[in-house]
Chains A and B, each alone.
Chain A
Amino acid sequence: MSRRVLLHVGTPKTGTSYLQDVLHKNRARLLKQDVLYPAERFDAHFLAALDLMRLRWGGLEAEAVGAWDRLAAEVRAHDGTAIISHEILASASRSQVARALASLGHRPGGDTSDGGTEIHLILSVRDLVRQIPAEWQENVKHRARFGYGRFLELIQDPERAHRVGAWFWGVQEIPDILDRWGADIPPERVHLVTVPPSGGPPDLLWERFSTTFGLDGLDLKLTTRRANPSLGVPESALIRRINRTAARDLPPQHYRPLVRELLAHQTLSKRTKSARLGLPPDQYAWVHELTESWIAELARRGYDVVGDLEELRGAPAPAGKWVDPDHPPERQVSAAAVDAIKALLLDNAEAHAENERLRRKLEAARRELVRARTPRLMRSMEWTVQRLEGSGKGRQALEVYRKARKRVPPEES
């Protein structure tokens, strides 16, 4: 039975990909140091979360059948510290949370006296000023067709009746996430890791994660980096237009590698000079008011804060002109589109070359197969004819033979 489980349940866009990449690539080293990160594949905890929450995810859920129970069984079987991390767990309902905690060996109130697991809940959090545009962009990279303005309307609907608003607050409303996940966990075992403001020391967030997860002093390789790169305004607008035109025709298994990976992550995210996506100036007031209420509530609850709750306030509205992704600078969108076309052409050329290589290989294999099935006598005759065709005397001899057998080569018939 695991003595201690570090359960990291979110939130999205808080450096979780990098953390999970480090944990996954170092899982053998961690295990030698008694820390279990049970993930044979990089997305193992994502699949487990889909299974726990019964979420459909573009067909990936088919690979998730039974994934949570398998993960929980691995954790229970480990005698030491185990780590589970995925940001979509933030949206789990109370009943799903209860099932998850019970499956990990949690006892009511976090009681560990009778062998119950000591579960530490970790939530990494970032200010809404950055989270709101980042979430819209994430929606766009997942086939969304609605504009930024519509997204802002949906998340401000108090009823949260639309799935977009329900999801956004499900994974971003920090006090509510902690109400669901932390209701039965002592506050000192709830750890809030705040994401530092932009422009700070690049390793500060990792240092906070490292401290919270107890990784300080462990032998780890940190050279890997699996960032979830962000897009600028024209690039986001371009992907949204592509979604409006092509997403319906492109099944998820093709959309993911072509649009999300090739276009968004590998190509358009490299265009770093374009205007960055930000919160519209008229939205700062309600965001700040809401954030103040969160900070007050979180401070009152007495959680372990790694970082500073003040960082949740986010940056003030910038003095420069805000660029609206629903009305982007068209020249910049065109330039991004040309980059996208170039990337698709190169990718297509590579695919063509690969097709051609495979076609030749297939043809050679087919010839081999025919040869293997052709009787030896026939092969000897073919070989003899080829040799004779190669010399003048041979051709004469063949002609005599064919006349005698009343046969002519096909081209003369």
Chain B
Amino acid sequence: MSGRRRAWGWVAALRSGATTPWLEWPADGSGEGESLGAELPGAQQLALLRRLNAHAAATGRTVPTATAERVLAAGVSGRGRSELALVGVADAGEPGRFGPPPVDPDALADDELLRVASALIADDIAVVATRPVPEPSLADKVRAVRRPWVRSFVVVGMPWRADAVRAELTAQGHRPGGRRPTAYLLADDLETVLVQAWTARSFDQGGASWRGFVRANAGAGHLPPRADLARMARSAAYKYGADRVRVVLDDQLLADELGVPRLGGPPRLGAHAVDLVRRVGEPLGLLVSSDARPRLLRDTLGERLDGLGGPPPTLPPRWDGWLSTQAERTRHDLAAARYPVLGDLDRLLPRPLGPEPVAPVDAEVLALALGLLLDPVTVTKEAP
């Protein structure tokens, strides 16, 4: 019996949708197969394909052959171990005593599988980037023209939300801008503001995990620029005049003031969904320009993952004191500057803590990634 032939037999079975773990694959010769290439795929790729098969089977589907091929041929993104060898493949006397030790693919951490999945999803998004952006229709153009009777205003504050609100208002004919505008600073409780800062960063730059993001800022004792509302207000006051800055803590009051039915908002991505965006952004950064990356991620993963990924993350309990102090400071700074407030400034203060802190979990992030491999962003989902 040859370990290599047994491995190729398992590869062929995985390509056909099998979900049998490697260690349970027949070792009596019945599971052997012909070589399908020069090198066996890496353990990470094989483990990912098995998980993808299981994910598809759970919903009565099968993984298309082309997708299976893609997974097996994929690279591993980012730093860490490259393709790993399967345990039990090298026959006695074969070379292979150098390099990382062979592994049981089912014992690999989800994080290892996510390195492969992220690279594949990034490839899909890069394909979307090559498609021409449709020209806005005449109706869209007309809607986007600034109405002369609409008061001059701009929307600043929490970037993730402000971008979406600006887009929604523009779609309703309330394009921000005009002479001597009023600056509406979108604000919320500080934990939500921090989550949105991390979300915006994940879309724009990728990088830090939620815990790393919190630790880097809370550990250094300051708020990240995207969550520092007092600083944003000062900046708006400098640019537009202090008497033209208004703090918004109640969306409906702002909608009423602008005369629109609703303000709209960004897609609601849970902790696991944002973590997946962060991971995909990394390999995507080497496929498209850094200017194009945030928009591409918003248009693809932002839409596809809307409403998915569990609840938003919450701060680990050890940073409670820091959060309260920063929230009090923000509230004090905004109150002292006497900016008019739409809503109640106390809303800046942290909400009561939930029973358990929420943070991205690799297994959940991987489940989302598997869904995106089965239904790639290159294929537009039809509306139900």
Using CB atoms and an 8 Å cutoff, list the residues of chain A in contact with chain B.
Answer: 50-51, 54-56, 61-62, 64-65, 91-96, 158-161, 163, 166-167, 169-170, 173, 175-176, 179-180, 184, 248-249, 297
Contact = CB atoms under 8 A, between A and B. Distances in A.
Nearest to A175: B98
A65 B99 contact: no
Contacts of A93: 42, 75-76, 82-83
B79 A96 contact: no
A55 B79 contact: yes
A94 B82 contact: yes
Given A54-B77, A95-B73, A166-B80, A179 B286 contact: no
A160 B81 contact: yes
A65 B82 contact: no
B371 interface: no
Given A54-B119, A94-B39, A248-B216, A163 B80 contact: yes
Interface stretch (B185-193, B287-295, B311-319): B287-295
Nearest to B216: A248
Nearest to A163: B79
A96 B75 contact: yes
B282 interface: yes
Contacts of B220: 248-249
B10 to A, nearest CB: 19
Interface SS of chain B: helix, strand, loop or mixed? loop
B83 A64 contact: no
Give the most central of B76, B98, B289: most A CB within 10 Å: B98
A170 B82 contact: yes
Interface string B51-87: 0000000000000000000000111111111110000
A166 B81 contact: yes
B98 A176 contact: yes
Interface in B114-131: 119
Interface residues of B, number: 32
Contacts of A179: 95, 98-99
Contact of A173 (B73, B98, B288): B98
A50 B216 CA distance: 26
B226 to A, nearest CB: 14
Given A54-B283, A93-B82, A166 B100 contact: yes
Contacts, number: 82
A62 B290 CA distance: 6
Nearest to B40: A94
B259 interface: no
Interface of B: 38-39, 42, 73-83, 95, 98-101, 119, 206, 216, 219-220, 282-283, 285-290
Given A56-B282, A95-B73, A248-B220, A167 B98 contact: no
B95 A51 contact: no
Contacts of B95: 179
A61 B79 contact: no
A158 B79 contact: no
A55 B78 contact: yes
Given A166-B81, A169-B100, A173-B98, A95 B288 contact: no
A55 B287 CA distance: 11
Nearest to B115: A54
A58 B113 CA distance: 23
Contacts of A62: 285, 289-290
A178 to B, nearest CB: 9
7 contacts: A54-B77, A56-B206, A64-B286, A94-B42, A160-B100, A170-B81, A248-B219
A160 B219 CA distance: 29
A159 B100 contact: yes
A297 B73 CA distance: 30
A287 to B, nearest CB: 16
B81 to A, nearest CB: 5
Contacts of A92: 82
Contacts of A161: 81
Nearest to B77: A54
Contacts of B76: 93
Nearest to B293: A62
Contacts of B290: 62
A155 B283 CA distance: 26
Contacts of B219: 248
Contacts of A61: 285-286
Nearest to A158: B101
